[in-house]
């Protein structure tokens, strides 16, 4: 439950930072939806290696905090998002989202200093 709250809080901060960078709330909302929700949806339609790569490198990796099944690398099985299994551990998934948020915050701070001086 704490992980889900952290996930939503980080997505909100990401949206705020992107809104500051873009100076356009509709554009920021669109980019956040594309980065966070669209990979989750596309993972069902794409081949497993592509879906695995996408769920490791996009902010959608943070949804691993909600996984219902533990994935053991030594056991050969299909780890599918639709069955509640994600390629990253919950902590690593949140770390991917934290990196995106940190980059967006740095860009937002730079943009504010540059434009609002």
- pLDDT value of residue 13: 95
pLDDT above 80: residue 77: no
Q: Can you tell me the mean pLDDT for 4-30?
A: 92
pLDDT above 70: residue 65: yes
Which of residues 58 and 81 earns the better pLDDT score? 58
**Backbone Cα Rg of the chain:** 16
- pLDDT value of residue 60: 86
Q: Render pLDDT for 27-39 as a digit per residue (tens, 0 to 9).
A: 999 999 999 989 8
The domain ranges of the chain are 2-69+78-115
The whole-model pTM stands at 0.83
């Amino acid at each position: 439950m704490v992980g889900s709250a952290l996930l939503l809080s980080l997505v909100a901060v990401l949206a705020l930072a992107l809104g500051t960078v873009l100076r356009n709330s509709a554009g920021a909302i669109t980019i956040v939806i594309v980065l966070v929700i669209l990979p989750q949806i596309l993972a069902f339609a794409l081949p497993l290696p592509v879906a695995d790569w996408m769920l490791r490198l996009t902010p959608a990796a943070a949804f691993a905090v909600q996984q219902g099944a533990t994935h053991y690398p030594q056991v050969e099985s299909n780890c599918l998002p639709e069955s509640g299994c994600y390629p990253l551990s919950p902590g690593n998934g949140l770390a991917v989202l934290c990196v995106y948020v940190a980059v967006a915050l740095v860009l937002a701070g730079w943009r504010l200093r540059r434009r609002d001086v």
